[in-house]
Amino acid sequence: MRTIVVGSRQSALALTQTGQVIDDLKKLCQEHGFEFEFEVKKIVTKGDRILDVTLSKVGGKGLFVKEIEQAMLAGEIDMAVHSMKDMPSILPDGLTNGAVPRRVDPRDCLITLDGKGIDDLPQGARVGTSSLRRSSQLKAYRPDLELEPVRGNIDSRLKKLETEGFQAILLAAAGLYRMGWEDRITSYIPADICLPAVGQGALGIECREDDEELLKLLALYNDKESEMAVAAERRFLGVLNGGCQVPIGAHAILVKAPEEHTLAGQNVIQLTGMVGSPEGDVILKETLLGLDPVKLGEEVAGKLIERGAEKILEQVKEID
Ligand SMILES: NCc1[nH]cc(CCC(=O)O)c1CC(=O)O
């Protein structure tokens, strides 16, 4: 009997989703005759220690995974469950993503105390979010709103809705589902108003690339459609930037190509990518269909670069 040591951040969300994945994997072990036990090891990451400044100022999303990856390479842990959107687009040598489980709703949602949706918020309402992607797109849609930073874990952000006098805060619906707090969701923000973050709503299961027996189990857990969608989004992000927090959004789904398209009738990936200026005065968006997620991610990024996306991203770096 082998014990798989699963590294996890100690936030409630990280521990909850790690626990949910372990439950799923235990069922798969029983069904397919794998002799594994699982044990959780908590790891504090730099991102967890620095909660008082915006992430973009301290170096972006890699901060939440680096210590976990080092522990994995050192053999102290065997596996980790990450929110895909917190994963840098390139993994270190020796590690691989063994599975993308079935994705949940990738949209952002609005949480208000009085049940108001995005169109009902009063003129000049204070809305809490520290995501440049969310504030850029929300400012483009409702230039009157005051977007203000709110950091911390989901639970502390929900508390700040009450304690810091926001009329609303913006969060990923996925985190609330996983915590069992979906009743806090007041309304969903449609993807055409606010395109989600790359990988939002999806998890990634990271392990060592030579851990063949664990990879065999993880292959059974992989959801091909979610994997393809996330691969297209992540390639898009990889072309535009290494993984820092900038106003970039993307969403891929599988669709049947329409009659007028060269791929008519085939099952294809539809990828929409977005780059916005921090103030929301420029929002560049492209949607393309394709069969190969990597090529499609590159094509959508290429279209946005042709339209000046890199200039916007340069400006964002200067602000930081
Ligand atoms: N940025 C932090 C983060 N990383 C993953 C989620 C939950 C959503 C997901 O799993 O995609 C959240 C919270 C949020 O953005 O509201």
ipTM of the complex: 0.94
Assess if residue 284 is contained within a domain: yes
Q: Which residues, including other chains, have CB under 8 Å from residue 163's CB and lie 6 or more apart?
A: none
Tally of structural domains, the chain: 3
Q: How far apart are the first and last CA of the chain?
A: 50
Q: How far is the CA of 71 from the centre of ligand 1 (A)?
A: 23
Assess if residue 194 is contained within a domain: no
Please tell me whether residues 92 and 178 are part of one structural domain.
no
Q: What is the DSSP letter of 102?
A: P
Q: How far is the CA of 288 from the centre of ligand 1 (A)?
A: 26
Integer-rounded Cα Rg, in Å, for the chain is 20
Once rounded to an integer, what is the mean pLDDT over residues 33-60?
77
- So what's the pLDDT on residue 86? 86
From atom 7 of ligand 1, which residue's Cα is the shortest distance away?
175
Please tell me whether residues 9 and 89 are part of one structural domain.
yes
- So what's the pLDDT on residue 320? 44
Please tell me whether residues 180 and 129 are part of one structural domain.
yes
Which has the closest alpha carbon to 7: 18, 21, 16, 17?
A: 18
Assess if residue 73 is contained within a domain: yes
Please tell me whether residues 297 and 241 are part of one structural domain.
yes
**Cα–Cα dist 286/99, whole Å:** 28
Q: Is the CB of 171 under 6 A from ligand 1?
A: yes
Domain that holds residue 245: 228-319
Closest approach atom of ligand 1 to CA 200: 11
CATH number of the domain enclosing 275 = 3.30.160.40
CA angle 137/139/141 to nearest 5° reads 70
Q: Is the CB of 83 under 6 A from ligand 1?
A: yes
Percent of the chain with pLDDT over 70: 94
Q: Is the CB of 200 under 6 A from ligand 1?
A: yes
CATH number of the domain enclosing 159 = 3.40.190.10
Q: How far is the CA of 199 from the centre of ligand 1 (A)?
A: 10
Please tell me whether residues 9 and 129 are part of one structural domain.
no
Please give the full DSSP string across 170-204, using - where no structure is assigned.
Answer: EEEHHHHHHHT-GGG--EEPPTTTSPPPTTTT-EE
Which has the closest alpha carbon to 300: 235, 256, 254, 243?
A: 235
Please tell me whether residues 15 and 68 are part of one structural domain.
yes
Q: How far is the CA of 58 from the centre of ligand 1 (A)?
A: 18
Higher pLDDT, 275 or 46: 275
Please count the other Cβ atoms lying within 10 Å of the Cβ belonging to residue 29.
17
Assess if residue 196 is contained within a domain: no
Q: Is the CB of 233 under 6 A from ligand 1?
A: no
Please report, for residues 114, 227, 284, the alpha-carbon distance to residue 133 in angstroms, rounded to integers and kept in the order given.
Answer: 25, 23, 12
Q: What are the pLDDT digits (tens) for 275-288?
A: 999 899 999 999 99
Please tell me whether residues 97 and 112 are part of one structural domain.
no
Q: Is the CB of 290 under 6 A from ligand 1?
A: no
b/e per residue, 128-138, with b = 16+ CB within 10 A?
Answer: bbbbbbbbbbb
Closest approach atom of ligand 1 to CA 170: 16
Q: Is the CB of 79 under 6 A from ligand 1?
A: no
203, 76 Cβ separation under 8 angstroms: no
**3-state class of 211 per DSSP?**
coil
Mean pLDDT of the chain: 92
Q: Which residues, including other chains, have CB under 8 Å from residue 248's CB and lie 6 or more apart?
A: 133, 197, 198, 237, 240, 241, 273, 274, 275, 276
From atom 15 of ligand 1, which residue's Cα is the shortest distance away?
172
Please tell me whether residues 78 and 135 are part of one structural domain.
no
Once rounded to an integer, what is the mean pLDDT over residues 146-151?
92
Catalytic residues, by residue number, are: 86
Please tell me whether residues 131 and 267 are part of one structural domain.
no
Q: What are the pLDDT digits (tens) for 169-218?
A: 999 999 999 999 999 999 999 999 999 999 999 999 999 999 999 999 99
**Cα–Cα dist 207/51, whole Å:** 27
**Cα–Cα dist 189/247, whole Å:** 16
Is the model's pLDDT at 244 over the cut of 60? no
- So what's the pLDDT on residue 51? 60
Please tell me whether residues 128 and 154 are part of one structural domain.
yes
Q: What are the pLDDT digits (tens) for 55-105?
A: 545 556 677 788 999 999 999 999 999 999 988 878 999 999 999 999 999
Please tell me whether residues 173 and 208 are part of one structural domain.
no
Assess if residue 197 is contained within a domain: no
b/e per residue, 166-192, with b = 16+ CB within 10 A?
Answer: bbbbbbbbbbbebbeeeeebbbbbebe
Please tell me whether residues 21 and 51 are part of one structural domain.
yes
**Cα–Cα dist 123/146, whole Å:** 9
Assess if residue 157 is contained within a domain: yes
Assess if residue 309 is contained within a domain: yes
Assess if residue 292 is contained within a domain: yes
Q: Which residues, including other chains, have CB under 8 Å from residue 148's CB and lie 6 or more apart?
A: 126, 127, 128, 129, 166
Closest approach atom of ligand 1 to CA 196: 11
Of all helices (H) and strands (E), which one includes residue 7?
strand 2-8
Q: How far is the CA of 78 from the centre of ligand 1 (A)?
A: 23
